[in-house]
């Protein structure tokens, strides 16, 4: 993969940790990992040290799934 020319993530791209839809691609010297938003946040401190590119598309979550309110009323 050319780290400067990444394709947008699709619904077929799945998190390497849990299988949910991936919204973050992390390119490492040895390959790439895909993460859902939850696991990307969890592992960000570690992969940030090694990544050559982080493609973060988590901003699409609100557009695709709507903003969720914490209110129950």
Read off the pTM. Answer: 0.81
User: Which residue segment(s) compose the domain that 32 sits in?
Assistant: 24-59
Residue 65 placed within a domain: no
Q: Is residue 18 part of a domain?
A: no
Structural domains in the chain (count)? 1
| pLDDT mean over 10-37 | 97
Q: Is residue 8 part of a domain?
A: no
Segment 49-60 mean pLDDT:
96
Q: Give 12's DSSP letter.
A: T
17 in any annotated domain: no
Residue of 6, 8, 26, 7 whose CA lies nearest to 16: 26
Q: How far apart are CA 60 and CA 30, in angstroms?
A: 27
Residue 37 located in a structural domain: yes
CB 52 within 8 Å of CB 71: no
pLDDT above 90 covers a percentage of the chain that reads 74
- 28 CB contacts (<8 Å, ≥6 apart)? 47, 50, 51, 52
| 5-22 residue pLDDT tens | 679 999 999 999 999 999
Burial degree of 69 (CB within 10 A; 0-12, 13-18, 19+): exposed
Q: Average model confidence (pLDDT) for the chain?
A: 87
């Amino acid at each position: 993969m050319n780290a400067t020319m990444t394709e947008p993530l699709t619904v077929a791209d799945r998190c390497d940790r849990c299988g949910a839809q991936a919204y973050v691609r992390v390119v490492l010297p040895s390959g790439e990992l895909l993460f859902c938003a939850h696991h990307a946040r969890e592992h960000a401190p570690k992969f940030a040290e090694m990544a050559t590119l982080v493609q973060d598309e988590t901003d699409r979550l609100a557009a695709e799934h709507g903003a969720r309110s914490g209110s129950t009323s």
